């Protein structure tokens, strides 16, 4: 029995081996992709309630932010007009305005809940 190796047979053998290797890595990649999608789905299911609440509160949050920005704009405009009038700025009024601005900025961010262990 003689075994002859032809260039055509050698090329077909290499192509077959290459296809097997590519198929192996493709299957491995698809398995990891499936795990990734499963993890994303489980995270979304666990946080569905929080996501829904956040989406429902978006308009309230934007309205609150708009009100606070309007307040700050009005506050700065009033102080700018007082300074431009050259009548002098009352120190107490300026301090009250700055403190009110600081309080408005602090109220913009929600307070963090701290859990005691």
Rounded to whole angstroms, the Cα distance separating 57 from 64 reads 11
What is the pTM for the complete model shown?
A: 0.42
Task: Specify if 86 maps to a domain.
Answer: yes
Residue 79 structural domain: 58-108
What the block records as the tokens of 48 is 């569905």
Task: Specify if 25 maps to a domain.
Answer: yes
**pLDDT tens readout for residues 52-97:** 888 888 888 788 888 888 887 777 776 555 544 444 556 667 777 7
Q: Which residues of 36-69 are buried (b: 16+ CB within 10 A; e: fewer)?
A: eeeeeeeeeeeeeeeeeeeeeeeeeeeeeeeeee
Contact 102, 75 (CB under 8 A): no
**pLDDT tens readout for residues 16-63:** 999 999 999 999 999 999 999 999 999 988 888 888 888 888 888 788
Same domain for 35 and 72, yes or no, is no
Rounded to a whole number, what is the largest CA-CA distance in the chain?
115
Q: How many domains does the chain have?
A: 2
Task: Specify if 92 maps to a domain.
Answer: yes
Same domain for 73 and 37, yes or no, is no
Question: Which residue from 53, 54, 70 is spatially nearest to 108, judged by alpha carbons?
Answer: 70
Same domain for 62 and 101, yes or no, is yes
Neighbours of 94 (CB within 10 A): 13
Looking at the chain, the whole-number percentage of residues with pLDDT higher than 90 is 31
Contact 97, 79 (CB under 8 A): yes
Task: Specify if 2 maps to a domain.
Answer: no
């Amino acid at each position: 029995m003689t075994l002859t190796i032809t260039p055509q047979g050698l090329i077909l053998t290499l192509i077959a081996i290459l296809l097997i290797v590519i198929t192996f890595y493709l299957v491995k990649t698809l398995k990891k992709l499936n795990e990734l999608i499963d993890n994303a789905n489980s995270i979304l299911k666990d946080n569905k309630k929080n996501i829904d609440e956040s989406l429902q509160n978006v308009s309230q949050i934007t309205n609150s932010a708009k009100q606070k920005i309007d307040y700050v704009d009005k506050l700065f405009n009033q102080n700018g007009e007082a300074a431009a009038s050259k009548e002098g700025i009352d120190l107490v009024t300026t301090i009250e305005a700055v403190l009110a601005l600081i309080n408005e900025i602090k109220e913009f961010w929600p307070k963090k809940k701290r859990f005691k262990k």
